[in-house]
Chains A and B, each alone.
Chain A
Amino acid sequence: MARLFLSPAGIFSALLLSLLPGLAAAQEKPYFVTYSHDLEEPGNLEVETKTALAQPQGSHRYGATASELEYGVRAWWTSEIYLDGETTAQESTILTGFRLENRFRPLMREHVINPVIYVEFENITGADKTLLEVVGHDGQSDLGEPNSDTRQEHEHEAELKLILSSNLKAWNISENFIAEKNLGHEPWEFGYALGAARPLRTLGSGKPCMFCLEKFTAGAEAYGGLGDTDSLTLHNTSHYIAPIVGWQLPFGRFSFSTGFGLNSNSLDRVYRIGWASELPQVGSWFRSSKGGTR
């Protein structure tokens, strides 16, 4: 597993973490798969890593990391780029591709249910194991194939999500409906992700602290595939439920979850570790250099 940290994604993550002194805590929910309607504050740049650790049945353990840069273009528009990589024990450490993602809030007011439109382009190989979404008939058998074979499969995919999200009584409840299309001759694949999370204490304590309850968020998410246009059935799909916990630190947010596979097509366990930090008002750095408003 140590080789993961020598992968390009691992080195990238280490560089980002070296920026710690200038970073601030990221504000989004500690979900790994589910999206809420939280967008990046305009002008802020969030750096985030999401690592999935698992062992498919009859195959080797792996660790896959998605490193992400997320920029708040507008208060209603967030743009992201991901760089994915993975290490499989006794196989190899490889870069598995990139993703470009945009999220838009079409409604400018806060409602009981808030829609967000998500559009993503993926240029990844079959060796990508980050499990940022589960769609179609994805299963653990896809994750158990050797890197030497799967890295030859190049996938250009478009992904659309309808994100519905509510903040109610300190709870966030989010539902994501996913449609993914390989731009080659493949059917549309569908999936879902559901999440609920809440801070352990809703009242600010009035003094700086790291271990007080208000700094922790707990919840759960569930996600899985819903088949594809050729076979719109739950047969041979995989599903997971994962308790999550997030810890807000002065310079970032740490998050952790253990996902439990709910059927034989799913991985038994997926451990996920995440880190997110924000570089505040990156946009104003450039404006001030031109004699702007700062």
Chain B
Amino acid sequence: MIARTQKFLGYICLTISFSLLLCAATSSRWDRIPEKDHARVNPLAAHSEAVAAGALIYRDHCAQCHRSDASGDGHKKPALRSERIRSATDGDIEWFLRQGDLRHGMPSWSNLPEAKRWQLVAYLRSIQ
């Protein structure tokens, strides 16, 4: 029985170790955006309500880390009024929101419908 329990705990340790190794093996997300995503344009950019809707999504999901004025915390949660955002394409930002950067603390927002991610992109563009 003890041997079976030890074997079981061994499997758990192996699983956790494997997960940690995979986490350590990845690098910056912005450098890896596929070309087809990079080239995408915001299909809701011309929608008059997109910025207002994006502002609400930002308030609900983003402000708690990046602050309500998008100034960030000066540490791990970067400001979103930045050259990085200004120079990114719509597709880059949507891709980043969808993928997140789990290793560096940015969750994936793939659970938001794609339309809402584009509304958020419109809002982020509007505050630059």
- Give Cα A36–Cα B101 distance, bound, in whole angstroms: 18
Interface string of B99-128 (1 = CB under 8 A from A): 111111111101101111001000000000
* A174: min CB distance to chain B, Å: 11
Stretch from A39-47, A135-143, A232-240 that touches the partner: A39-47
Chain A: residues with CB nearer than 8 A to chain B?
A: 24-25, 27, 29, 36, 38-39, 41-44, 72, 74-76, 104-110, 117, 119, 158, 160, 167, 169-170, 172, 181, 183, 185, 199, 202-208, 280-281, 284, 293-294
- Give Cα A106–Cα B15 distance, bound, in whole angstroms: 9
- Give Cα A202–Cα B74 distance, bound, in whole angstroms: 33
Which of B12, B99, B119 touches A110 (beta carbons < 8 Å)? B99
Within 8 A of A (CB), among B67-125: 73-76, 98-108, 110-111, 113-116, 119
Chain B: residues with CB nearer than 8 A to chain A?
A: 1, 5, 8, 12, 15-16, 18-19, 22-23, 26, 49-50, 52-54, 56-57, 60-61, 64-65, 73-76, 98-108, 110-111, 113-116, 119
Which of B5, B19, B106 touches A104 (beta carbons < 8 Å)? B19
The residue of chain B having its C-beta at the shortest distance from the C-beta of A281 within the complex is B64
Q: Is the CB of B111 within 8 A of A27?
A: yes
* A112: min CB distance to chain B, Å: 11
Q: Is the CB of B102 within 8 A of A208?
A: no
Q: Is the CB of B52 within 8 A of A206?
A: yes
Q: Is the CB of A294 within 8 A of B65?
A: no
Q: A38-B111, A75-B106 are in contact. List 5 more A-B contacts (CB 8 A).
A: A74-B105, A106-B19, A108-B102, A206-B52, A293-B75
* A188: min CB distance to chain B, Å: 10
With most chain B CB atoms within 10 A of its CB, the pick from A204, A281, A294 is A204
